[in-house]
Chains A and B, each alone.
Chain A
Amino acid sequence: MDLLFPLSGDLIAALVFPGVLGIFGFLVVAIWLERKLVARVQWRFGPLYVSKPLGGLLQPVADLFKLVFSELVLPRHTNRLLFAATPILLFFAEGLPVVFIAAAPGVVMAPHPYGLAIAVVLVLLVAVLVVAMAWIEADKFTYIGAMREILLTAAYEVPLLLAALAMFLLYGTADPHKVVEAQSGLWGVLLNPLAFVVYLVALLMATTRFPFEIPEAEPEVVLGPYTEYGSTLFIYAFGANYVKLYVLSLLGAVLFLGGWLPAAGVLGVLITLAKMGVFVLPAMLARAIYPRYRIDQALRIGWGQLLALSAAAVLWSLLAAWIW
């Protein structure tokens, strides 16, 4: 891609960003940033004592180490092999959509004419694994968590798909490169603001973050689908949500914010990274300022206002495509 880097674009995508290093790096930075930001809003300091000069940036790393080297308990009442395998599969499946998303021209693992559409569908299919995981744990809290997860999924899936579909209709393509090219004049967020709003709310629902943190509501169902896990498996089960946030933010940056425009190459990758913040920061800050919805309230939003808005977004795109 550049003279500076001997690696080709697709290998950079696989190894650095948005690939393996990006996913694990995001996990650490996102957890730190979330704790710091929420602490700032609530007039606390947040993580402080591990690596004080860095503002506690290494605290999540210390936490991850602590979790990796704590005892791995496999409960007796479950299928132990599946119990250990599903969180790994879940984490992996959450990261899989980045294969089809470009971070800069040529920085994509598998360029495909329907790349972004496949990524959206892969993101939506992962809910199946969360439910499977909860089912394997076989515990009343995980069952309730699974029910809430699947109900929430059914509520945000249609609006999220319609929001993405509206953008694909507008651009006339789902190829990441062409989608970004189509935004060289105006960004997608200005071309179809309705779809952007739907996408942002659906992102909060999909990553079960506040105010939709319902499947793992701590005061009600312990940790919902993650209740039985500990040690490394807990990192995967719980961290999978952060990976989903990473994927959906990347997808959103490409779909709505013009991706790597106005640059290319290494600078383009950095710009994409910065634009992801538009989705990541609200998702983190919502935790500090919003209470939690009840499941029926969240479903009402999903099947009511959000569905109507997303249908309107598709009509908007059809009209816009027809006029041009």
Chain B
Amino acid sequence: MVAVVLFIALFLAALVLLVVVGYLFSPKRPSETKERRFEAGGPPYGPVQRRLLMQYFGYVYLVTVVEAAVGLALVAVLTTDAGRAALAPLAAALVVVIAAVVAVVWRYFKLLADVRRWG
């Protein structure tokens, strides 16, 4: 436990210290241009040319998090003695879940992989 605390403390301290040192000793000549949003060299102007469709990305975001947690739960169960005793039904359930994912991907793969339908 000491090692974990030491690692976390030292790692974070080193990271923060480097930022602080850089902040204290680097030149500071702020200007309006520097603090502006990066627009590939030009000032931002004009109406939006093309909207980025991002209303569904929250779901993808959610999936990436849930997926990781589900993976941990699966491993936790499969590596206990009780889980090992029930390996067959668990393995069957796992195969069913994987098969379901593969089936859904298989069904909509052509549609999803067609980049022209994204816009």
Contacts and interface: CB of A to CB of B under 8 A. Distances in A.
Interface of A: 10-11, 13-15, 19-20, 23-24, 67-77, 84, 88, 91-92, 95-96, 99, 109-110, 113-114, 117-118, 120-121, 124-125, 127-128, 131, 138-141, 143-144, 147, 150-151, 153-154, 157-158, 161-162, 164-165, 168-169, 172-174, 222, 227-228, 231-233, 235-236, 294-296, 299-300, 303-304, 307-308, 311, 314-315, 318, 321
B109 A303 contact: yes
B113 A299 contact: yes
A119 B44 CA distance: 42
A143 B48 CA distance: 14
Contacts, number: 193
B61 A128 contact: yes
B68 interface: yes
Contacts of B85: none
A interface majority secondary structure: helix
B82 interface: no
B68 A124 contact: yes
A109 B72 contact: no
Interface string B62-104: 0111011101101110110000100100010011001001100
B28 A304 contact: no
Given A147-B54, A318-B91, A24 B14 contact: yes
Given A109-B3, A296-B115, 14 more contacts: A11-B6, A15-B7, A73-B35, A120-B68, A124-B71, A125-B68, A138-B37, A143-B54, A165-B74, A173-B79, A228-B38, A233-B19, A299-B112, A303-B105
Given A71-B29, A75-B35, A99-B7, A88 B91 contact: no
Q: Which of B36, B38, B76 has the most CB of A within 10 A?
A: B38
A168 B57 contact: no
B31 to A, nearest CB: 9
13 contacts: A14-B4, A19-B11, A70-B22, A76-B36, A88-B19, A113-B79, A150-B64, A164-B75, A165-B74, A222-B40, A232-B19, A304-B113, A314-B98
Contact of B102 (A109, A295, A311): A311
Interface residues of B, number: 64
B18 A68 contact: yes
B71 A75 contact: no
A172 B79 contact: yes
A153 B63 CA distance: 10
B95 A14 contact: no
Contacts of A68: 18, 21-22, 26
Contact of B64 (A72, A124, A140, A311): A124
A67 B29 CA distance: 16
Contacts of B94: 314
